[in-house]
Amino acid sequence: MKGRERTKRTADKAEKEKEKEVFAEISLDQNGTDSADEDDIVDADGNLIFGPSETVDGEEGEQELPEIIPDYASDDSDEETNNTIGNVPLEWYAELDHIGYDINGKKIPKPKGASKDALDEFLDSMDDPNAWRSVLNKLEGENVVLSDTDLDIIKRIQSKMIPEKDYNPYEPTVEWFSSQTETQPLSAAPEPKRRFIPSKTEGARIMKIVRAIRKGWKKTTEELKEEKEKALPKFYDIWAHSDPDAKDKHMHIPAPRMSLPDHRESYNPPIEYIPTEEEVEEWKALDPEDRPQNFIPKKHPNLRSVGAYDRFVQERFDRCLDLYLCPRMIKNRINIDPESLIPQLPSRKELEPYPTALSVVYEGHEKRIRCFSVDPTGKWLVSGSDDCTVRVWEVLTGRMVKSWKFEEPVQDVKWNPNAEFSILAIAVENDVFLVNPGVSSKEVDEVTDEVFANIWGKESPSKIDWKKPSAAASALGHRVILNFSKNVTTVVWHRKGDYFSTVCPDAGGAAVSIHQISKRQTQNPFKKSYGLVQKVQFHPKKPWLFVATQRYIRVYNLIQQDLIHKLHPGVKWISSMDVHPQGDNVLIGSYDKRLCWFDMDLSSKPYKTLRYHKSAIRNSTFHRTLPLFASCSDDGTLNVFHGMVYDSLDQNPLIVPLKSFKAHKVVDSLGVLHCEFHPVQPWVFSCGSDNGAFVLKLFA
């Protein structure tokens, strides 16, 4: 192939030599002079090139333009070159013996003198008369001599003139279209009738297409598309996680817009937006990420007095970081029926019985009622108040049976849960009174008095003083007085009725005390306190003690004397606590309006957190025999819930809201202070204010 091109190139050169000799013979006139003008140009091969302004008169006197020589007068941007290395740096071939490759992949040797140094090039330029008009063709590696026309074009370009010499940029304008707006039509002929009649020819063509479609000769665009899709091979990417057509969809996610400026960023903001000196100092003391805005509003008399914003570059940089480091993505929205997300709860009629209406109101206390308790038989109700009295009521009738007067307000009162005894534990300031109310049967009262009579004959060391009341107090039912160093806030009975525990939050390590009546003994199970103790509860079946501090609940084994569980309710301040009769679930109320249900077999964190109250929760309690629990709050409401605990570990407890009572009115930001269930019936008691009086209510 290379030999053919070389032979063709030699033949073209010989033909050009012949043409040169012919032109030399023709160009001589009779006098033997050359007939070419001075402005004509002869190229390097001896070809005659007419000047740009040369004209020749024809037979009809028309102007004829000179023939265009493609080598000089046309664009050579697509001119083929012998060197086909492409757009690569020529320095790659500086140390090689060739300058590139031709179309056949053969090496093109460097021309002679290509490796000359600066001295040789200087000597050659002094000997060559055309050195000043030579240009190096780096691709071919040889010098090209510029013609006079090329030099003239270069001079005109340097002089900021039009490269073409005879080009006239100011030729007269030829208005191919009139610049005058014609208001009248060129023809006023009326529209022909055929413009308003359907074309018969087009109708025939359409009917022909319709017949072809009906008979199946011609297929619609959709049918052709389906056939084309069926003809495609059934290959797909088995590892792809998405639709293959999604790659062709360009999903543009616009960047989030910057927030618009507000009145603070005005050069003349309102007075209320200008901070004081104290606010400026507070702003400077904050960390940059905690500041509400990154500038201090200032007031300027006019807009030209506003200086340059010194944080502009930093804000633009932060904006770029947000766009760069926070990628945006499209998440497919999952269409889920909202009803399917709501748990399917049973009907409230299926969960009966539970309290539904107000039944009895117990009136008689003159000040706020703080606590009350129901005896294990469910016949009697005892209440303590800030009027320093403790009263016993008959549950069914609301009749007050007995009353005791103390010197200080009553903090807590609890009835012994064992029906074989009739004992009241009353906490008043630093003392706890054990009282036989004398409202039970004669046999129960005798057994109770016998228990207290037997404890005085025993001597046992105790850290708390067990005092025998006076004869007058004994006549009123007082049997034992326990004296503490700090105020007692809570009294809790063990299910057997022989033990009870007291809480003195300010007593430090002696905050929790456990007392045994039969041995007249008091013990402090903890040497130190891990926080301010709020409530304690005995486990209904095991020798465990639940101790609630402000934020945690610890469960201790009293026999092994070690910590078993630590519950994390996630509240700020625990206000109440109760243990389910089965012992595996705990109910917590808090002052930050949360009611937490713990399943100790499931986790140390709440199984359910209920937020139905608008104010602090004062108490929460379980029913002893029915699947019910309740909570009362300072918003004046009493909420009753269904709480079923299953024996199977595969089923979680079922919690269903049943009833919300507007039990009492809110007075001095205090609403319902205590609530408790009847031991047998589905009844719930509450205490609070109502129409200016402090009463207890029974909802049945």
pLDDT of res. 127: 84
First CA to last CA across the chain, in angstroms? Answer: 113
pLDDT at 354 exceeding the cut of 90: yes
Which residue type sits at 669? S
Give the separation between CA 329 and CA 699, rounded to whole angstroms. Answer: 56
What would the pLDDT profile of 445-463 be if each residue is shown by its tens digit?
899 989 888 888 777 667 7
| DSSP, res 189 | P
Weakest-pLDDT range from 336-350, 589-603, 634-648: 336-350
pLDDT of res. 143: 81
Structure-block tokens of residue 392: 């016993």
Strands 369-374 and 380-385: antiparallel
pLDDT of res. 43: 46
Structure-block tokens of residue 461: 């060391």
pLDDT of res. 41: 43
What would the pLDDT profile of 151-164 be if each residue is shown by its tens digit?
999 999 999 999 98
Give the separation between CA 285 and CA 287, rounded to whole angstroms. Answer: 7
Give the separation between CA 152 and CA 135, rounded to whole angstroms. Answer: 15
Give the separation between CA 582 and CA 604, rounded to whole angstroms. Answer: 17
The mean pLDDT of 605-614, rounded to a whole number, is 93
pLDDT of res. 491: 95
pLDDT of res. 462: 72
Higher pLDDT, 554 or 47: 554
Q: How would residue 80 be classed by pLDDT, with cut points 50, 70 and 90?
A: low
Contacts of 57 (CB under 8 A, 6+ apart): 63, 64
Q: How would residue 85 be classed by pLDDT, with cut points 50, 70 and 90?
A: confident
Give me the percent of the chain exceeding a pLDDT of 90: 46
pLDDT of res. 289: 85
Dihedral (Cα; 188, 190, 192, 196), 10-degree rounding: 120
Q: How far is CA 233 from CA 227, 228, 542, in A?
A: 12, 10, 73
Q: Which range has highest mean pLDDT (169-178, 195-204, 688-697)?
A: 195-204
Q: Which of 618, 678, 689, 671 is nearest to 381 (CA)?
A: 678
Can you tell me whether residue 509 is helix, strand or coil? helix
pLDDT of res. 338: 85
pLDDT of res. 32: 42
CB-based contact 395:360 (threshold 8 Å): yes
Q: How far is CA 690 from CA 359, 398, 697, in A?
A: 15, 16, 10
Q: How would residue 35 be classed by pLDDT, with cut points 50, 70 and 90?
A: very low
Contacts of 517 (CB under 8 A, 6+ apart): 423, 434, 451, 452, 455, 480, 498, 499, 500
* Secondary element (H or E) of residue 396: none
| DSSP, res 255 | P
Q: How would residue 4 be classed by pLDDT, with cut points 50, 70 and 90?
A: very low
CB-based contact 403:444 (threshold 8 Å): no
**Using CA of residue 303, residue 308, residue 314, residue 317, what is the dihedral sign?**
positive
Mean per-residue pLDDT of the chain: 83
Weakest-pLDDT range from 75-79, 178-182, 237-241, 493-497: 75-79
**Phi and psi, residue 348, nearest 5°:** -65, -25
Dihedral (Cα; 320, 321, 326, 328), 10-degree rounding: 10
Q: Which of 591, 608, 606, 615 is nearest to 553 (CA)?
A: 606
Go through the domains of the chain in sequence order and give each one's CATH number: 351-699 (2.130.10.10)
Weakest-pLDDT range from 16-30, 113-127, 298-312: 16-30
pLDDT at 73 exceeding the cut of 50: no
CB-based contact 646:582 (threshold 8 Å): no
553, exposed or middle or buried, with CB in 10 Å at 0-12, 13-18, 19+? buried
Give the separation between CA 545 and CA 492, rounded to whole angstroms. Answer: 11
What would the pLDDT profile of 90-121 be if each residue is shown by its tens digit?
778 777 878 788 888 888 887 766 667 788 77
The mean pLDDT of 288-311, rounded to a whole number, is 89
Higher pLDDT, 265 or 143: 265
pLDDT at 392 exceeding the cut of 90: yes
Contacts of 600 (CB under 8 A, 6+ apart): 555, 565, 567, 584, 585, 586
What would the pLDDT profile of 466-475 be if each residue is shown by its tens digit?
888 988 888 8
**Global pTM exceeds 0.85:** no
pLDDT at 422 exceeding the cut of 80: yes
pLDDT of res. 378: 92
Weakest-pLDDT range from 99-103, 281-285, 498-502, 638-642: 99-103
Q: Where are the alpha helices (DSSP H) in 162-311?
A: 200-214, 221-231, 277-285
What would the pLDDT profile of 652-673 be if each residue is shown by its tens digit?
899 999 999 998 999 988 999 9
pLDDT of res. 138: 76
| DSSP, res 92 | G
CB-based contact 574:553 (threshold 8 Å): yes
